[in-house]
Amino acid sequence: MIRQAWPRPEVLFSDAPPAGASEAGAGGVSPAEHYTGYVFPVSGQGTISFTFKADRPFRIVVNSQPKPSYGSREVVVLEVTDRRAAFLRANTDLPRDVLDETTEAKALLNPGAEQLAYWLSLDTNNRVLKYGKGEMLNRLVLFTYRFPPKPEPPLADPFAYLAGLKCIALSGVETASVADHALSSLPVTLDPPPQIIATDQITLEDIAENLFSVAADLPQACQALYANVAGPSVTLRPKDFPEFPEAINYSINTPGGLCYRKLDEKPKQFGYLRITMDPNLGDSPGSPYVLEIWPAQHGSPIHDHGDACAVIKVLEGTIRVKWFPGLSPDIEVPFGQVDLTEGDVTFLTPRAYQIHQLFNPDDRKRMTATIQCYRYPADDTVHYEYFDYVEDGVIKQFTPDSDWEYLEFKALIRKEWDARPR
């Protein structure tokens, strides 16, 4: 199931002076706490994420009350510095209060990087803390701590207070520098599988192995998009032109062909075709339905989707999807990838699989075709109209455009196909 973000507070940080002292502690993190408008809906469980440029040590604190906790022993603290990442059982600088720490480079601050999301997951039921960067996904966990098992009565549980933790504070960070934030009412456990199948196809084994998602588990925007394109009649082989894929391949690979000429005009990093179905209706970045044609060995730059939801169905060939934890010139290694083939459907949301790169791996001059469907979530009041992408070490904006309208493109390709030498 998708860990949907909880509604955002109207004001993230109160205008009141931060709680606690203002001087820096021994670890280099100011104990001053800026409490947020977020509260875990279920005490003792949830995930909080903050996006900012982390150029100095910081702490995320989870407390039972929005009050100063420096010195308190009934909180949970994530501390991230340029030397270590640590879970603390108390908001102090005492070595005895360190539950566990890591010095692995990937878990430390990224001071020279672009803004990145840092998150903390509290799971009292399973007695687990997790810390990660990027999207709130289990495959992006960088550091885990498991509390000791609950002792048998009559022994007291020294961590019983975890069940009451719900208030969230940030320290060591200028509040104005927080570019984005999100809270999930669930801890990070199983990731939502990125491939969707129909409810009449999923099996008990699929559920047990967490292999597929079903539309009912996705945000409403994804459910609507999936319902529109998942059916077997949404195909690139319409009854009136069943050779459509072969005709497109011919046009791509024939010098002077319609697609050949258009692709020759495009920058290398955008070496694919965008065929739009509808005009921009105001509820998506660009056209809500786009047929994308990917020549062999061509792909997209690493890009995001303006915090929109999307459903992608493969109509012909194979598309390789790579996912990235953040959009930054410093992030070039994907955290996962999958090859999808004809009929396969995948999705993305503002909080899962939002940043990706697509590529047609075919080496025999066969194109891939996908139908890309976009819609903003109902609670999105910004409607960012661009896809941001990385090029030459810089984040740039791409305005979703169109090479042709679908019916026009189909007619032109049919005309070219019918006129080909026999």
- Going along the chain from its start, the domains and CATH numbers come out as 34-184 (2.60.120.200), 195-418 (2.60.120.10)
Q: Token match 């995001």: residue? A: 304
> Would you state the pLDDT for residue 5?
54
Q: What CA–CA distances, in Å, run from 108 to 58, 78, 80, 309, 310?
A: 11, 12, 6, 31, 32
Q: Which residues contact 106 (CB under 8 A, 6 or more apart)?
A: 133, 142
pTM across the whole model: 0.89
Per-residue pLDDT of the chain (422 residues; tens, 9 = 90+): 454 555 667 667 764 444 444 434 445 555 578 999 999 999 999 999 999 988 899 999 999 999 989 888 899 999 999 999 999 999 999 999 999 999 999 999 987 777 899 999 999 999 999 999 999 999 999 999 999 999 999 999 999 999 999 999 999 988 888 988 999 999 999 999 999 999 999 999 999 999 999 999 999 999 999 999 999 999 999 999 999 999 999 999 999 999 999 999 988 878 999 999 875 565 565 678 999 999 999 999 999 988 889 999 999 999 999 999 999 888 999 999 999 999 999 999 988 999 999 999 999 999 999 999 998 877 655 556 668 898 888 888 887 788 999 999 999 999 999 999 98
> Would you state the pLDDT for residue 286?
64
* SS (HEC) of the chain: CCCCECCCCCCCECCCCCECCCCCCCCCCCCCEEEEEEECCCCCEEEEEEEECCCCCEEEEEECCCCCCECCCCCEEEEECCCCEEEECCECCCHHHEEEEECCHHHCCCCCCCCEEEEEEEECCCCEEEEEECCCCHHHEEEEEECCCCCCCCCCCCCHHHHHCCEEEEECCCHHHCCEEEEECCCCCCCCCCEECCCCCCCHHHHHCCCCECHHHCCHHHHHHHHHHCCCCCCCCCCCCCCHHHHHHHHHHCCCCHHHHHHHHCCHHHCCEEEECCCCCCCCCCCCEEEEEECCCCECCCECCCCCEEEEEEEECEEEEEECCCCCCCCCCCCEEEEEECCCEEEEECCECCCEEEECCCCCCCCEEEEEEEECCCCCCCCCCCEEEEECCEEEEECCCCCEEHHHHHHHHHHHHHCCCC
